[in-house]
Amino acid sequence: MALRLAGKHCAVIGATGIIGSHIAKAFAANGAVVSLLSRTAPEARPKLEPELLPYKPTDSAPSDNPSVHRFIGLDVFQHNSIKEVMGGKKEGSAGPVDILVNCAGISQTTVMKRTPDSELRDIVDTNLLATMIVCKHANIRPHGCIINVSSLMAIKGVPGAAAYAASKAGVIGFTRALCRELSPRSIRVNALLPGWVDSPMWKQLKPELKEAYLRDTPLHRVAHPAEIADAAVFLAANSFANNCVLNIDGGLSAA
């Protein structure tokens, strides 16, 4: 049986992170050729490349697909380089993609009053503005798909994460509007809202906060990053999944 993403070219921004790297691995395991992007993607190549199923082009794969998984440096703070890397035609640019995942993100662990203004701006710039600029410049093929990684915090109030929550809520509004704008080219646009994932973001929480979240989560555990990646594969592969705002949080959203 053909793999679900056979012959697709997927670009994952934030592919060196715990969630992004699992998404890249899951896409490769489903037959895609993956461009992994982040500031440190080229340096991460020796560690991540052996974990990716090597790409085998199919007869129907577009001739301008990359022939192997690629590791491309991209700092989403540098808007000119987003344009060059995502939309450019030069060697080393991402090129046409079928699936784009915006997974680069930074978190917040301080209440508003104690968060420097520059940090508030950085959070919104990285999590929201960069997502918009990447989507603006990416060369997405007709019938392609965008997956924007938001967060449960976009829809659930949590102290100590106000700018983060606002940036992730913005991602949902952006996703919905872009879904309408890209309809003439049949490009699907979806948002993924993970709850807590076994990750550095989770590990840096105070023990009492972790206990409270685990108590409130009906499944009483955090997600394995592979469970989030599995949801990304669903959104990428299901050709009727459009404008989904998919929470995958062990039920924490019900609490």
Ligand X SMILES: NC(=O)c1ccc[n+]([C@@H]2O[C@H](COP(=O)([O-])OP(=O)(O)OC[C@H]3O[C@@H](n4cnc5c(N)ncnc54)[C@H](OP(=O)(O)O)[C@@H]3O)[C@@H](O)[C@H]2O)c1
Q: Are 38 and 14 in contact (CB under 8 A)?
A: yes
Rule CB under 6 A: say whether 76 interacts with ligand X. yes
DSSP string, 191-250: EEEE--BSSHHHHTS-HHHHHHHHHHSTT-SPBPHHHHHHHHHHHHH-TT--S-EEEEST
Residue whose token pair is 């190549």: 45
Q: Is 109 helix (H, G, I), strand (E, B) or coil?
A: coil
Rule CB under 6 A: say whether 175 interacts with ligand X. no
Rule CB under 6 A: say whether 197 interacts with ligand X. yes
H/E element holding 27?
helix 18-29
Which one-letter amino acid corresponds to residue 189?
A: V
The least CB distance from residue 44 to ligand X, in Å, is 7
Rule CB under 6 A: say whether 97 interacts with ligand X. no
Q: What is the distance between the alpha carbons of residues 212 and 221, in angstroms, rounded to a whole number?
A: 11
Rule CB under 6 A: say whether 213 interacts with ligand X. no
Q: Of 196, 217, 233, 247, which one interacts with ligand X (CB under 6 A)?
A: 196
Q: Which residues contact 156 (CB under 8 A, 6 or more apart)?
A: 252, 253
Q: Is 164 a catalytic residue?
A: yes
The least CB distance from residue 13 to ligand X, in Å, is 6
Q: Of 151, 190, 217, 247, which one interacts with ligand X (CB under 6 A)?
A: 151
The least CB distance from residue 248 to ligand X, in Å, is 9
Rule CB under 6 A: say whether 18 interacts with ligand X. yes
Closest CA to 195 of 169, 175, 225: 225
The least CB distance from residue 82 to ligand X, in Å, is 9
Closest CA to 199 of 210, 208, 211: 210
In this structure, what token pair is assigned to residue 249?
Answer: 């949080």
Rule CB under 6 A: say whether 6 interacts with ligand X. no
Q: Of 40, 58, 183, 239, which one interacts with ligand X (CB under 6 A)?
A: 40
> Which member of 164, 174, 196, 213 is catalytic?
164
Stretch that binds ligand X, among 173-181, 191-199, 211-219, 229-237 (CB under 6 A): 191-199
Nearer to ligand X, 35 or 126 (CB): 126
Residue ranges that bind ligand X, judged by CB under 6 A: 14-20, 38-40, 74-77, 103-106, 126, 149, 151, 194, 196-197, 199-202
Q: Which residues are catalytic?
A: 164
